[in-house]
Each structure stands twice: as C-alpha cells, then as structure tokens.
Amino acid sequence: MVNTKVNLCGITLDNPVIPASGTFGYGYEFAEFYDINILGTFSFKGTTKEARYGNPLPRIAECTAGMINSVGLQNPGVEAVIKEELPKLKACFHKPVMANVSGFSLEEYTEVCAALDKEPQIGWHEVNISCPNVSKGGMSFGTTEEAAAAVTRAVKAVTKKPVIIKLSPNVTDIASIAAACEEAGADGISLINTLLGMRIDLKTRKPVIANKMGGFSGRAIFPLALRMVYQVRQAVKIPIVGIGGVARARDVIEMMLAGATAVQVGAENLVNPFVCKEIIETLPTEMRKWGIEDLSEIIGGAHECQKM
C-alpha cells in the first residue's frame, strides 16, 4: 500500500491536497457535497481585522484555461470568523485548518494572527503578503525582501503556531524574497499567489473587471508556478506549499518533485467542486503508475536528479 502522508511544519497530513484560500470558503459549504475530512487540510478565506465588502462589481472574468478575479478580500472580519465561522467549521472538519491572513499594515497582520493563534483548530497561519502596504504608498509587502521579512518577524513575535508566508509571483526574484522570509523566521513558504491580468469587453471597449485588473489563476499558470516552486526550493530549506493551476493527481506529484511538501488546489474548485476529492482518490493509482511508494520521499526529487 502506498503512503500519501506528509509532514507540513510539524503537523502530519493524511495527504498533501489542500484547497486554496478563497476557493473553499470556510469548508462547511463544501461539506454539503462530500466528507471534507478526506482533505490534508484546507486554507480558509482570507481574513482581515475588519469586515470587508471587497472590490466593486463586476470582479470575475473568464479567460482561456483560467479566470481573473478582483474580489478584494471580501470577509466578515476576524472577530466574526472566530465567533461564527469557526464553530460551524468545527462541526464538519475535525483536523487542524490553515488560517489565511491578510493585512494593510504590520499592526493589522499581527492583530489578526494573534487573535487566531488562540483558536485550537488553527494549525498554521498562511500569511498573504500580496496586500498593499498603506504606509509605503500601496506597494505590496511581498515585493521586497525587507518588507516581506518585516511581516514575517512581526507575525512570528505574536504566534506560537507555524507561519507560512504566501508569496506573490509579480516580482523580479521570488527566490530571494523567500530566502528573506526564511531568515526572518518563517516556518514555511506557499507560492504562487495569482498573476496580474485583465480582459477587455469588445462591445464596450472597456475592461471587463470594474477594478480594471485582477488575479489570473487556473490551469494556464501551472508551468510558471512549477518553475517558481523549483527556484524557491533551491533557495530555502523550510517546507513549501505549491500553488497554481493544479487540477489532477499528476500535477500534485509534479509539484512535489519540484520541491513542494504539500499542494494547494485553487481555481479548479470553482470549476469542479469535487476536484480535491477526485485528486485524493486517484493519487494512489498515479503513484503506483510512476513507481512511488511514499510521497514524502519524492519531495524535491527533480533537484536530486540534476545532481546525478
């Protein structure tokens, strides 16, 4: 029998399949379709200090092999997540869950993480540093090594649980930013967040999305995400969560060979709500097809092949 278990920052997962933040709500919505306890874990909807409506409509655009979204971190705020969402989640999901945290200042990141750190069901903090740093003119925290490291240090100072920093691909050198986060104390890295893209309506000759541009995700970005996971694996020793265009069991194995310990499934959840279940069910067959008995043994395997 093949072994699909992996260890992510000290916590054992039954398998490496994780629905990505923003594509799985707070879990209980999908629990109406299947038993979500088969998942390794999942990353719940991005959470900020205060409730946010998000960006103006329309904020979704279809495109070839993917989609563009500009939802704008719509969420009820951390207090409501703790009081209302987590109790409902606890009723249907009995494993540690990943809390996705966003902020517009160092203070907001630390306040949200400190509040969530007290919740027993939270296993990891996934800190999204693609948010604009309002004190620096709106530049994303994830665009420079210094800013990324500053968020990492600030969050680590107020948490006891593992901190995974989620990186933006809209940078020149993602590996150096990952290395700066590791040096600042990050327990793991997740990548990639969405790429910046847009669509134009030929009838109106205006951008489809009210915010003009948004995050491009879906199957089309898989090769780019894979390349970045591979590069970051060469730069850090901490665990990596690979994200971007994953749609089948074979993609999970490919991401792990590039260096990922676990793999998130994002946009595909919006196309097929059963995709994570299907990946988990077909993963053992795909492993046997390629002669893999233990998934944890193939992590970073593509790098080992380069040394031979």
User: Which residues are tagged catalytic?
Assistant: 131
Q: Phi/psi at 219 (nearest 5 deg)?
A: -55, -30
Separation of alpha carbons 21 and 3, rounded Å: 26
Q: What pairing do the DSSP bridges indicate for beta strands 66-69 and 60-63?
A: antiparallel
User: In terms of C-beta distances under 8 Å and separation of at least 24 residues, what long-range contacts does 204-213 make, across chains too?
Assistant: 208/58, 208/61, 208/68, 209/58, 209/59, 209/60, 209/61, 209/68, 209/70, 210/55, 210/56, 210/57, 210/58, 210/59, 210/70, 211/55, 211/56, 211/59, 211/70, 211/72, 213/68, 213/70
Q: How far is CA 168 from CA 27, 32, 58, 129, 192, in A?
A: 24, 32, 23, 7, 6
